[in-house]
């Protein structure tokens, strides 16, 4: 656990997984451009650009499906079905 002091209070934070960032609150949607199989990389359209994307759930995401962006793993977006 990491501890950090903010305005005189100590806040504990879980250790991050190297390369994976779920700290940002994306709360945005992307559109599947290239099918994503479970734990495999496909492609999404997000913020006016195309990005590699992966879903860690046991679902297949098909072209045109709207998904939520929940984090990043280097330049790969982590997405989940809405």
Token representation of residue 37: 């199989």
pLDDT in the model for residue 50: 97
For residue 2, give the 3-state DSSP assignment: strand
- Provide the pLDDT for residue 1: 43
In this predicted model, which residue has the larger pLDDT, 5 or 43?
Answer: 43
Q: Which pTM does this prediction carry?
A: 0.70
Over the stretch 10-69, which tens digit does the pLDDT of each residue have? Answer: 555 544 445 566 556 566 999 999 999 999 999 999 999 999 999 999 999 999 999 999
């Amino acid at each position: 656990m990491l501890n950090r002091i903010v305005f005189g209070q100590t806040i504990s934070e879980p250790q991050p997984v190297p390369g994976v960032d779920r700290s940002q609150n994306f709360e945005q949607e992307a559109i599947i451009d290239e099918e994503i199989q479970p734990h495999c990389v496909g492609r999404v359209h997000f913020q006016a650009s195309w990005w590699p994307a992966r879903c860690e759930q046991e679902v297949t995401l098909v072209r045109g499906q709207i998904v939520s962006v929940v984090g990043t793993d280097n330049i790969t977006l982590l997405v989940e079905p809405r």
